[in-house]
Structure 1
Amino acid sequence: MPDTAPKGMAMINAFDPRKATDLAPREQAMIERRQRLLGPAYRLFYEKPVHLVRGEGAWLFDAEGNRYLDCYNNVASLGHAHPRVVEAIARQAAQLNTHTRYLHETVLDYAEALLATFPASLGHVMFTCTGSEANDLALRIARAHTGGEGIVVTSLAYHGVTSTLAELSPSLGEGVPLGRHVATVPPPDAYRGGPDMPARFAADIAAAFADLARHGIRPCALLVDTMFTSDGVFPDPAGFLAQAAEAARAAGALFIADEVQPGFGRTGQMWGFQRHGLEPDIVTMGKPMGNGHPVAGLAIRPELLERFGGRARYFNTFGGNPVSAAAGRAVLEVLRDEKLPANAAAVGAHLLAGLSELAERHALIGDVRGAGLSIGAEMVRDRKTREPATAETARIVNALRERRILISASGPGANILKIRPPLCLTREQADIFVGALGEVLAEKGC
């Protein structure tokens, strides 16, 4: 990894051109071309990068036809190149693609279908192209409604790449400073469970808003990924977020559920916030919304839009265009028809059980947690101190890549395997992953 990589970023498995020794000439040429054309800010995964050319279901294929099990990519959540989404995109692109300033039924049909998945209180939907745009728009609306600026996020959160979102995404590292209007609280893991965990988490959120107010910064929003994916995946105990949302609202802030990663069936339910029995003020969406096509947006309580909509018009050239709407609607139909949230729940439980069995034999696995097919496996050098096994995790990630299984890591110590495969993953494929991980752990004496 380059020496300039920001502290805290999960780039432990990144390609380092200074250490590359056994790359094929074709890939070496591509890397040199990439660096010349794209510049130094981009990163490649793995010590030996993967040259992918095709995908199908939970499999990806490289230029030589080798097959890789994808246990990481949560964007093509239905499965890579799902034929129904591909067909919907092609059909609509062959008819019409324009913006939302003309009447067109496709975006309205999609909006109705999407809103039907939410509580009735979330009565409006607005469309963007990326999750970053969706979070940016949500904050604009929240500021207009509350008159405040203060935002509370978790200490290793990731919410987007715009200037506004980068300054409240601590996971981007020390090279991207937080805004003065941003306060952080520890992720749920810091409270180590216990019956008082929800109250302690909520108390810290209340204290963060109070501290912002003491500095003259009026509360605006609590923004959280409902699975705390970048913090290390923390779904339990179910329901704990309800008190956090109450604490935010008591401070005069809105509760924004960032469902860009947990949403669309990944947790075994349609939305991550459902696990906590609450109704957000705003829900932001992205990544899997179009199964690879750039679709994103937000669902919102109508009364929150009154001030914003009365003072500012909203327009996004590509957000809500007919092709994107067709892709999004096809995603909803496939989730329903193929029962993918139920599959995520069943296969996820099977995968968790397999990982837990591995943990009984390998002390390096300090904890396994998750909901559906959003799973974290924490690697530690000592289970009592929970010292992060950062270097060991890097070796595991790259060893799995050599076995043609794709995975990555997250968390403050970059020691938590982040497991989020396409929702079509089968029990057999889950067993392939667990078996390969077991082989790697055994070979490394872990």
Structure 2
Amino acid sequence: MWIEDTAGRRYMDFHGNNVHHVGYAHPRVIAAIKAQLDVLTFAPRRFASDRAVELAEALGSRFRTLTGVAGKVLFTTGGSDAVEVAIKLARLATGRFKTLSFWDSFHGAGFGASSVGGESLFRNGRAVGPLLPGAEHVAPFGCYRCAYGHAVDANGQPNLDQCKLACASMVRYVLEREGDVAAVIAEPARAVPFIPPPGYWRAVREACHAHGTLLIFDEIPTGLGKTGRFFAAEHDGAAPDIVVLGKALGGGVLPIAACIARADLDLAGAWAFGHYTHEKNPVMAAAAVATLDVIEREQLVDNAERVGAYALERLQEMKDRHRLIGDIRGRGLLIGIELVADRATKMPAPDAAERVLYAALSRGLSFKTTMGNVLTLTPPLITTQAQMGQALDILDRSLCEISQGC
């Protein structure tokens, strides 16, 4: 998990862009890559290789565990491409072209992926012009900052009797009014991060079923164990029709992504979705097979759940001492600490967040901020409880420094 700058200073990488689940240069992943280089380095996309088949079978098995049905896989070299494969598949399967996704979401930098994404980056200022037609958006779940004005308790939990899952009801409302949406696409747990309220995805799943709409889960940042389950969707009891994986799938070494769909959605026939030159590259597939093996052998999903629970417990204790902390949220090793200038008004504190970030960096801990004021910790799955404790000690001291005492 360690990175080093040109002056020889070392930092714990609690960002890693959600790529370093098994760390950097895990010996099993490196060994698999080296071995594959001596066997087969490239296969034209018209052909498969034994490593690509092995990887597809492994991911298909995981998909069946999640959904209860068989899955088929198409590989790409990046998450944006895999998202766009999912969109094309949804269009073909439903005969519709509209999508419904969420403001403030990110699904990649490709043209189609940025269209279904909800970041202002692709819309304001020097934007690239009109995005894909039919890319509809609604407000996302996010209980601490509920778009529908509902309050949370002191622990950031919603009152479901009061809010009645207004965020999910809006999804149903839009699907009903539009009438012809091909797919809802979303991260099952937002990488910001925000965690869905109980029952949210079950309600959305029911709405999709009622209106002939497919449900696509973008598990690129959250999958492969980040939240303490292999798929983040496992927490919420809602089976998607399509899942997209990427980032960490290549073991923190090589780029590879996958679109996994229900087998009955294999409707394209001779019409190609991909045409990606390196879509089934055997070296990248070997890295991914080794990555899945490491995650299973080293029980990293369980480790993420255990170390994440420890982190959330400690962070709640820190919240009691640091008035800057407005909310703590997360699952597994996807953790957010939202800083506010005032807990009553929830006014964001982006300047304080930036100062905490650099104070922590000076002490050897690297992470990122999201939405300006959310300290976002996404360490690798190999993180031990001792290492998490070390990181949280640094964060605690950094918060003390910024608030000028504890």
TM-score (norm 1): 0.81
User: Post-superposition shift, 1:199?
Assistant: 3.6
Amino acid of the structure 1 residue aligned with 2:173:
A
3-state DSSP class of the match of 1:269?
coil
Give the C-alpha shift of residue 172 in structure 1.
4.6
1:403, distance to aligned residue in structure 2 (A): 1.5
Distance 2:182 2:224 in 1: 26
SS at match of 2:208: helix
**Where in structure 1 are there 5+ consecutive unaligned residues?**
1-57
Question: Secondary structure of the equivalent of 2:62?
Answer: coil
The alpha carbon displacement at 1:324 in A equals 1.1
Matched to 2:110, the amino acid is: T
Match of 2:39 among 65, 84, 95: 95
Q: CA deviation at 1:210?
A: 3.8
The CA distance in 1 between the partners of 2:48 and 2:117, in whole Å, is: 37
Higher mean C-alpha displacement, 79-88 vs 175-184: 175-184
Q: Tell me if the contact between 2:76 and 2:274 (Cα under 8 Å) persists in the aligned partners.
A: no
Paired residue for 1:434? 392
Q: In angstroms, what is the RMSD of aligned CA positions?
A: 1.8
Instruction: Look up the match of 2:155.
Output: none
Q: Distance in 2 between matches of 1:211 and 1:182?
A: 15
Q: Whole-Å Cα distance in 2 between the matches of residues 337 and 313 of structure 1? A: 34
| Corresponding residue to 1:347 among 304, 307, 321 | 307
1:222 to 184, 193, 196: 184
Cα deviations by residue, 1:264-311 (Å, 9 ceiling, x for unpaired): 0001110011111121100001001112210101110111122x2354
- 1:111 — aligned with what? 56
- 1:144 pairs with 2:92: yes
1:64 and 2:7 matched: yes
Please list every run of 5 or more consecutive structure 2 residues that lacks an aligned counterpart in the other structure: 153-157
Distance change >3 Å, CA 104–CA 406, structure 1 → 2:
same
Q: Secondary structure at the match of 1:277?
A: coil
Query: Contact between 1:239 and 1:275, CA under 8 Å: does it hold in 2?
Result: no
* 1:124 maps to 2:124: no
Q: Distance in 1 between matches of 2:31 and 2:260?
A: 26
- Which residue number in structure 2 is paired with residue 299 of structure 1? 260
Q: CA deviation at 1:198?
A: 6.5
The residue type paired with residue 390 of structure 1 is P
Alignment of 1:1-400 (within 5 A): 58-73=1-16, 74-99=18-43, 100-119=45-64, 120-173=68-121, 174-175=123-124, 176=127, 179-189=132-142, 190=146, 192=152, 193-196=158-161, 199-213=165-179, 218-229=180-191, 232-292=192-252, 293-306=254-267, 308-312=268-272, 314-400=274-360
User: Number of paired residues?
Assistant: 380
Contact 1:151 1:223 in 2 (8 A): yes
Identity among equivalent positions (%) equals 33
**Which deviations, in whole Å up to 9, do the C-alpha atoms of 1:191-212 show, x marking residues without a partner?**
5422255642221102223444
Q: Give the superposition deviation at 1:171.
A: 1.8
Cα distance in 2 for residues equivalent to 1:290 and 1:198: 40
Give the CA deviation at 1:185. 1.9
SS, match of residue 118 in structure 1: helix
Residue among 342, 351, 362 paired with 1:402: 362
How big is the shift at 1:438?
1.3
- Change in Cα spacing, 1:198 to 1:336, as seen in structure 2 (3 Å) is farther
- Give the conservation status (yes or no) of the 8 Å contact 2:61–2:70: no
Offset at 1:122? 3.9
Match of 1:26 in 2: none
What CA distance in whole angstroms lies between the structure 2 residues aligned with 1:422 and 1:122?
29
Alignment partners' CA distance in 2, 1:425 and 1:313: 38
Deviation at 1:228, TM superposition (A): 0.9
SS at match of 1:333: helix
Q: 1:396-418 deviations in whole A, cap 9, x for unaligned?
A: 1122112121111113xx21111
- Matched residue, 2:381: 423
